[in-house]
């Protein structure tokens, strides 16, 4: 993490140097975090803005950090339902395949399973 932060600072300093020909331009590096809090955002070389401060900074809307929760929740639910459907399908497929290969009348044939998993292949 520290290497990434060092890279961030170094890259910003290079970009700032290249843009500082205009003395009226004030450039600030911002490390944005979508959630959380940082009560000391001034990190010297950059500002770390978290949670509401970050969302307000990028949008100008002090309520955006809560306004986006409901739409994100709906999207997550849609994706979760899609995931669960696909997960169940794969689980059922593997269960059927396992049962066909290694079970007799619903009982696992452990010897056959261990041989499949661990025997020397010829």
Task: Mention every residue, 6+ apart, whose C-beta is less than 8 A from residue 36.
Answer: 50, 51
Dihedral, CA of residue 112, residue 113, residue 114 and residue 116, to nearest 10? 80
Record the tokens describing residue 73, joined without a space.
Answer: 């929740």
b/e map 99-120, b = 16+ CB within 10 Å = eeebeeeeeeeeeeeeeeeeee
Could you list the pLDDT tens digit for every one of the 122 residues in the chain?
Answer: 668 778 877 777 776 666 656 666 777 888 999 889 999 999 988 899 999 999 999 999 999 888 887 777 777 787 888 889 999 999 999 999 999 999 999 999 999 999 998 988 77
> Model's pTM, two decimal places?
0.49
Q: Identify the bridge partners of residue 49 per DSSP, sorted by sequence position.
A: 32
Q: Where are the beta strands (DSSP E) in the chain?
A: 30-33, 47-50, 103-104, 107-108
Hey, how many other C-beta atoms are within 10 angstroms of the C-beta on 16?
14
């Amino acid at each position: 993490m520290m290497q990434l932060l060092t890279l961030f600072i170094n890259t910003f300093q290079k970009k700032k140097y290249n843009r500082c020909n205009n003395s009226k331009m004030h450039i600030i590096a911002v490390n944005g975090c979508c959630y959380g809090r940082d009560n000391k955002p001034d990190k010297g070389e950059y500002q770390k803005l978290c949670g509401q401060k970050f969302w307000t900074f990028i949008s100008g809307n002090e309520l955006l950090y809560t306004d986006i929760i409901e739409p994100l929740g709906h999207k997550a639910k849609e994706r979760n339902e899609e995931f669960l459907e696909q997960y169940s399908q794969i689980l059922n497929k593997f269960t059927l395949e396992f049962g066909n290969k290694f079970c007799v009348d619903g009982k696992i044939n452990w010897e056959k399973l261990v041989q499949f998993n661990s025997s020397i292949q010829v």
